[in-house]
Amino acid sequence: MLTTPQGAGEVGVNSILYFRVHNVEQRLTEIVGKGAKKERDAQLAAKMPDHDLWIAFVRDPDNNLIGLMEEKRR
C-alpha cells in the first residue's frame, strides 16, 4: 500500500510505503536488527469484520517512514 504524497519529494517526509507481512512483531525485530531505525512498535490499528490490522513503523536510511502491516485473522 502507498499513501498519497506528503512532502513533494522532500527527503524524510514522502509518501508512506506499507509492506504486508506475516508476524509483524518478528519482521520488525529482523528489520531493526539489519539496521533500520524503529519508529513505532506493532500496534492494533483497526478491528475489521474478519481480521485485526496491526501496523509497525521503521525509518529507512533517508529517514522515510516505512510501514509494516499484518492482517491477523480471528
Tell me what pLDDT residue 42 has. Answer: 98
| pTM of the shown model | 0.82
Q: Are 54 and 43 in contact (CB under 8 A)?
A: yes
Q: Are 54 and 42 in contact (CB under 8 A)?
A: yes
Local confidence band at 72 (pLDDT 50, 70, 90 cut-offs): very high
Local confidence band at 1 (pLDDT 50, 70, 90 cut-offs): low
Per the structure block, which three cell numbers stand in for 36? 533500520
Phi, psi of 65 (to 5 degrees): -80, 130
Residue written as cell 500500500?
1
How does pLDDT run across 14-64, given as a tens digit for each residue?
A: 678 899 999 999 999 999 999 999 999 999 999 999 999 999 999 988 888
